[in-house]
A and B are shown apart, each in its own frame.
Chain A
Amino acid sequence: GENVEQHPSTLSVQEGDSAVIKCTYSDSASNYFPWYKQELGKGPQLIIDIRSNVGEKKDQRIAVTLNKTAKHFSLHITETQPEDSAVYFCAAISDSNYQLIWGAGTKLIIKP
Chain B
Amino acid sequence: KAGVTQTPRYLIKTRGQQVTLSCSPISGHRSVSWYQQTPGQGLQFLFEYFSETQRNKGNFPGRFSGRQFSNSRSEMNVSTLELGDSALYLCASSFSGAGAEQYFGPGTRLTVT
A residues near B, CB below 8 A?
A: 6, 32, 34, 36, 41-46, 49, 89, 91, 93, 97-105
CB-CB under 8 A from A49, the residues of chain B are 101
Report B's interface with A, CB cutoff 8 A: 4, 33, 40-45, 48, 55-56, 58, 90, 92, 97-99, 101-102, 104-107
A100 with B102, Cβ < 8 A, contacts A43-B4, A43-B107, A44-B90 known: yes
- B48 surroundings in chain A (CB, below 8 A): 99
What total of A-B pairs shows CB separation below 8 Å?
Answer: 54
Most chain A beta carbons < 10 A, residue from B40, B45, B97, B99: B99
**Bound Cα distance from A99 to B98, whole angstroms:** 6
Whether B106 contacts A41 by the Cβ 8 Å rule is yes
Q: Which 8 A-B pairs have the closest CB atoms?
A: A43-B104, A102-B43, A104-B42, A102-B42, A100-B98, A46-B101, A44-B104, A32-B99
User: 14 other contacts beyond A43-B4, A99-B56, with CB at 8 A cut-off?
Assistant: A6-B42, A43-B90, A43-B106, A43-B107, A44-B104, A46-B102, A91-B43, A98-B98, A99-B45, A100-B43, A100-B45, A100-B102, A102-B42, A102-B45
Determine the distance from Cα of A102 to Cα of B55 in the docked complex, in whole angstroms: 19
- Residue of chain B at shortest CB distance from A105: B42
A-B contact pairs, 14 of them (CB 8 A): A6-B42, A32-B99, A42-B106, A43-B92, A43-B105, A44-B102, A44-B104, A46-B101, A93-B99, A98-B55, A99-B58, A100-B45, A102-B44, A103-B42
- In the docked arrangement, what's the CA distance between A32 and B99, Å? 7
Task: Give the complex CA separation of A46 and B95 in angstroms.
Answer: 14
Find chain B residues with CB under 8 A from A32 CB.
Answer: 99
Chain A min CB distance to B74 (Å) = 15
CA distance A36 to B103 in the complex (A): 10
Closest to B45 in A: A99
| A98-B99 contact given A89-B43, A103-B42, CB 8 Å threshold | yes
